[in-house]
Amino acid sequence: MSRGTTRHALRRVLVGCIMFVLVLAGQVGVAAAAAPGSIVKTSMWSQVGVVLDEIPKSMRARVAADIMTKPDSFWLERAHRQLKLTTYRLVFRDAFHAHGKALPLPPEPLWNIQFSGEPTRQKIDGHDVVAVNYHFTSILLSDAKSPGQSEPSLAQVGGRWREHFLLPVDPELVMQRTGYACMDEAEFPFGSVDSEEVDAFYDQTAVVEDALSREGYHQTVMPTESCVDAVTNHIGAVRTYVQYTRLTWDAALADQYRYGDDTGRTPDLQTFVPDFLPSRTVYRYVHSSGSGGCEVEEGSVTGTGWRRLLEFTTADENVGETALTIGGVDYTISGHPGQLEKHNLYVFSPCHGHLHFKYYANLRWTGHGKIFNTKKGFCLQSTFRPANRETSPLHNDFSSCDYQGIAPGWMDQYTAGLTGQWVDTTTLSPGTGFRKLQTNPNGFLCEGWFVDKQGNRLSPGEPVVWAKTGLIAENGKPVMAPLCDQKSNWDANNSYSVQETIKPYAQGLITEPCARGQIGPLRNCGFGVNPQTATCPPGAQSTLTLSIPANAQPQVVRLTEFSHVLHSAIPARFEDFWVPLTPGVSDQPVMLANVIVMPSAPRIVHFTCPSERTGGDYEPGGKIGIYSAPIYPEDARAAVTVGSVNP
C-alpha cells in the first residue's frame, strides 16, 4: 500500500512560524543525542467491545452473556484491532501536524495489554455494547535524534506528548456500519478501500465534501456523515490518546524491545512474510479493455467477466541500515516531471490516472496450473515500521509519493484490497499450488551502492547516474535506471512462496469461518458453502419469501448475483451492495439484499433481479444466489425454505 499526502499541504502553513522551536529542540536534545539510541514509552487507556445493535432483541441477552464469558485471547485480539486503527494518522502524521512527523507505535508483537475488570454490558453513545477497559504499553526504540525530530516535545528525556484519537468501541465491521465516512482515499487508486483493511485508511478527520475526487477524502462513494458523527451514531466512540514519554537510555530495556532483522549498512529488501501469508478469495466483474477496466490493459487478469481472484498483501521491508532511495516523481501530475518519469522508469497510466513503476514485483501461481501477474507499483513509500531498532528512524523522507523510497526498518505495503494484488484463478479447477512473490526482479531498485560510470561509489548527496536498461517503456522510449553496485546476494531474500488451495466456485471470503469474533448480519464470514439459487425476470422488481423452522435460531440470508459463465453464485461481501466495481461504469450491485429471517414468521424480501451484463463476458442475468448463516455464528445453521419469486 502506498499513500501520498500532498492534499494536506494547507495544514503545514504554520511551519515557518515554528522553525525556531525546531532549532531549539535540536539544541536542547544534545544530551539525549549522546546516547546510542532513544527509548520512548507509549501507552493508552481505552475501551473495546462488541456492538449488539444488529442482533435481534429476542436473543440479545443470550448473546451478550456468552460474549462476556469469552477468554482473554478474544478481547486481546479485539484490542489489537482497535489499536491498529491509529496506524494511518501516526504513520502520515506530518499531514495532520504542521510541526510533527511520523510517530508509529512499536511493532505489534511488542504490545503489552492489560485488562481492567471484567467485560460488562453497557450503553455507549446509545449503543448496546459488551465492553471491557484495557491499558496498552510498549517501548519505542530508535536513534537518539528521532523522537525530537518527530515531535519537539520528545527532544529531551522526560518530554511527553499526547496524540488524541476518536476510535470505534467495536473495531469490527467499521466499514459495514459507517460506509466510507472514515475512509481517507486521497491519492489511492480507485476502489482501494476494503472492509478487511480499514486500519490502512481510518481517519477521524474525514468529512463530507462537495464532490468526489482523487485528492479529497473520498473518491469512490461520498458519505452523508463525517467520521466523528458516523462512529458516534452507528458504533459508539472512544475518545482517548496515545501518550509518548521520552525515557533515559537503558541498554537492558533496549535489549528487551529491540525487534526486526538488520543485515548491515546497505539497503536490503526482504519479503515481510506475516503480511504475505494471509489470502482470501473474492470475485470481481472485469470489464473489457476500453470500457472502464484497467485490469485487462495491465494484464493482471486472464479474461473478462466474472473473475475468481486470490488476493493477498505484498510488503517489502528494508532490513538494511541505509534508506533505499528511488527518487522524485511528479505523482500529482503537476506538469513538472521528476527523474523517474524523465528516465521512463515510471510511466503514466491513462487508465489509472497516475504513474506506474512497472518493475516492482512478479506474482506467480505454479503447481496446479500456472498464472503470472506483473505487479505494478504506484508509489514506493514507507508506509509501516515493522522494526524497532536504533538504526531505524521514527520518521523518514518518504511520507509522500513525490519523493519515493523505503527508510531503514520501514516497509512498503500493498494491501490485498488494492487492484492487482491477486492471481486470477478463474481458469483453474480447485486444487493446491504455490503462490510466489518476487520483488525487484530486474534489480532496478538499488540494494547496494550507487556508483558512477567507472564503478566508483557515490558519496551521500551526489546525483545518481542513469543508464539504459535495454528495455523499452510503453511510450516507446528507453527505460533507464540508476547505476548500482548491488551487494553480494542482494536478491536472496526478495522472494517467498506459500502453498495455497484454489476454492471451488461459489466459495470465497464470506464462506470462510468467522475467525475474529465477528457477529451479526453485516459480517463477511460464516456463510454456507452450498448456496441455493432461484430465477427471476432480468431487471424486474421482485419479491421472495424466506422461512426457517419454528425451533431454529434467527438466520441472515444474503441474495447475490449468479454467473451463468461460471455456473455459480457470486459470494458477495456486504459492501458490494453499494460500491462500484469500476470507475466510470455504473455497475449494478452484486449483493441484492441482506435480511434477517426469524422463526416466528416468513420474511418477504424485495430486490431487483440482476440485469444482463455486457461489459465483459456476457451474463444474461435473471438468476440469484442465496447464502445463509446463523445471526450468531455459534448457533446452529438452519435450513432456509425459499418460496417462489414474484415480479
**For residue 583, what pLDDT is reported?**
63
**For residue 295, what pLDDT is reported?**
82
| The C-alpha cell that represents 267 in the structure block | 539497503
Calpha distance 576→164 (Å, rounded): 33
Closest CA to 287 of 625, 10, 613: 613
Give kind and range of the element (H or E) at residue 317.
strand 314-318
Q: What is the DSSP letter of 334?
A: -
Closest CA to 494 of 374, 365, 314: 314
| The C-alpha cell that represents 75 in the structure block | 478481547
Identify whether the C-beta of residue 552 lies closer than 8 Å to the C-beta of residue 596: no
374: confidence class by pLDDT, cuts 50, 70, 90:
confident
410 three-class SS:
coil
Beta-carbon contacts of 59 under 8 Å, excluding residues fewer than 6 positions away, are: 553, 554, 631, 632
Largest CA distance in the chain: 83
| The C-alpha cell that represents 10 in the structure block | 494547507
What residues form DSSP beta bridges with 114?
Answer: 135
- What are the tens digits of pLDDT across the range 560-606? 999 999 999 999 999 998 766 666 665 778 999 999 999 999 999 99
What residues form DSSP beta bridges with 128?
Answer: 123
Calpha distance 507→634 (Å, rounded): 20
The three state secondary structure string of 347-392 is EEECCCCEEEEEEEEEEEEECCCCEEEEEEECCCCCCECCCECCCC
* 199: exposed, middle or buried (Cβ count in 10 Å: 0-12, 13-18, 19+): middle
Give kind and range of the element (H or E) at residue 495.
strand 495-502
Closest CA to 314 of 384, 394, 245, 267: 384
Beta-carbon contacts of 471 under 8 Å, excluding residues fewer than 6 positions away, are: 442, 478, 479
Helices assigned H by DSSP within 144-189 = 146-150, 174-178
Identify whether the C-beta of residue 483 lies closer than 8 Å to the C-beta of residue 464: yes
Closest CA to 78 of 215, 3, 156, 171: 171
509-646 maps to which CATH number? 2.60.120
Beta-carbon contacts of 65 under 8 Å, excluding residues fewer than 6 positions away, are: none
**For residue 474, what pLDDT is reported?**
82
For range 608-612, the mean pLDDT? 95
For range 62-89, the mean pLDDT? 97
Closest CA to 554 of 594, 595, 525, 596: 596
- What are the tens digits of pLDDT across the range 192-215? 899 999 999 999 999 999 999 888
| The C-alpha cell that represents 60 in the structure block | 440479545
Locate the domains of the chain by residue range: 39-166+241-259, 171-234, 269-502, 509-646
Identify whether the C-beta of residue 547 lies closer than 8 Å to the C-beta of residue 643: yes
| The C-alpha cell that represents 572 in the structure block | 458477495
628 three-class SS:
strand
Mean pLDDT comparison of 156-165, 205-214, 288-297, highest-scoring range: 156-165
For range 470-492, the mean pLDDT? 93
443: left (phi > 0), else alpha (psi -120 to 50), else beta? left
**For residue 582, what pLDDT is reported?**
65
186: confidence class by pLDDT, cuts 50, 70, 90:
confident
| % helix, strand, coil for the chain, step of 5 | 15, 35, 50
Closest CA to 137 of 276, 39, 223, 211: 39
Closest CA to 209 of 220, 199, 198, 200: 220
- What are the tens digits of pLDDT across the range 96-144? 888 889 999 999 999 999 999 999 999 999 999 999 999 999 999 999 9
Calpha distance 13→21 (Å, rounded): 15
- pLDDT-wise least confident of 22-31, 328-337, 389-398, 636-645: 22-31
Beta-carbon contacts of 71 under 8 Å, excluding residues fewer than 6 positions away, are: none
Taking the complete model, does pTM exceed 0.85, yes or no? yes
Beta-carbon contacts of 372 under 8 Å, excluding residues fewer than 6 positions away, are: 362, 363, 364, 365
| The C-alpha cell that represents 538 in the structure block | 432480468
Identify whether the C-beta of residue 41 lies closer than 8 Å to the C-beta of residue 137: yes
Give kind and range of the element (H or E) at residue 284.
strand 279-286
Calpha distance 165→55 (Å, rounded): 28
106 three-class SS:
coil
Q: What are phi and psi of 498, to 5 degrees?
A: -145, 140
Calpha distance 269→267 (Å, rounded): 7
What residues form DSSP beta bridges with 140?
Answer: 40
β-strands 371-377, 403-406 pairing: unpaired
The three state secondary structure string of 52-66 is CCCCCHHHHHHHHHH
**For residue 580, what pLDDT is reported?**
66
* 252: exposed, middle or buried (Cβ count in 10 Å: 0-12, 13-18, 19+): exposed
| The C-alpha cell that represents 78 in the structure block | 479485539
Beta-carbon contacts of 530 under 8 Å, excluding residues fewer than 6 positions away, are: 506
3: confidence class by pLDDT, cuts 50, 70, 90:
very low
**Cα 170–chain centre separation:** 18
The residue length of the chain stands at: 647
Express as a percent the part of the chain with pLDDT over 90. 74
CA angle at residue 399 from 394 to 405, to 5 degrees? 95
290: confidence class by pLDDT, cuts 50, 70, 90:
low
Calpha distance 594→610 (Å, rounded): 15
| The C-alpha cell that represents 622 in the structure block | 435473471
Calpha distance 380→219 (Å, rounded): 22
Calpha distance 517→565 (Å, rounded): 35
β-strands 422-424, 305-312 pairing: antiparallel
Measured distance between the N- and C-terminal CA atoms of the chain, rounded to whole angstroms? 44
